[in-house]
Amino acid sequence: MRVASRARHLEVQILADRSGEVISLFGRDCSVQRRHQKIIEEAPVVICPPEILRQMEKDAVKLAKLVKYVSAGTVEYLYTPEDQKYYFLELNPRLQ
């Protein structure tokens, strides 16, 4: 197990309809939190390279299609700037 002490909390907003179409709306950085409550949500995401954010968005869309998700949702990731990797946290069934 690895501790990600400098990880950032990044989110991707998605919309999915009943016909299986899914789009990514945008990403944002929600790293400033207090007691697990977001205090500041920053958009657009500037902490990671654009190509990594695009891949996060593609993965969020892929996940929503895989589970046949329908509605607005938020896919959350931890991103580690040191190695430029991201890790799935959760899919919330709402825009946050």
Q: What is the model's pLDDT at position 35?
A: 85
- Residue ranges of the domains in the chain? 53-77
Q: What is the model's pLDDT at position 33?
A: 82
d(CA 56, CA 20): 19
The upper half-sphere exposure of residue 33, i.e. CA atoms within 13 Å in the direction of its Cβ, equals 11
Q: Across residues 50-60, what is the average pLDDT?
A: 97
Strands 8-16 and 22-34: antiparallel
Q: What is the model's pLDDT at position 6?
A: 85
pTM (2 d.p.): 0.90
Q: What is the model's pLDDT at position 96?
A: 73
Catalytic residue numbers?
Answer: 94
d(CA 3, CA 93): 27
Q: Is the pLDDT of residue 16 over 90?
A: yes
Q: Which residues, at least 6 apart from 32, have a Cβ–Cβ distance to it below 8 Å? A: 38, 39, 40, 42
Taken in order 92, 82, 56, 26, is the CA torsion positive or negative?
positive
Q: What is the model's pLDDT at position 2?
A: 62
d(CA 68, CA 62): 10
Lowest mean pLDDT among 30-34, 63-67, 90-94: 30-34
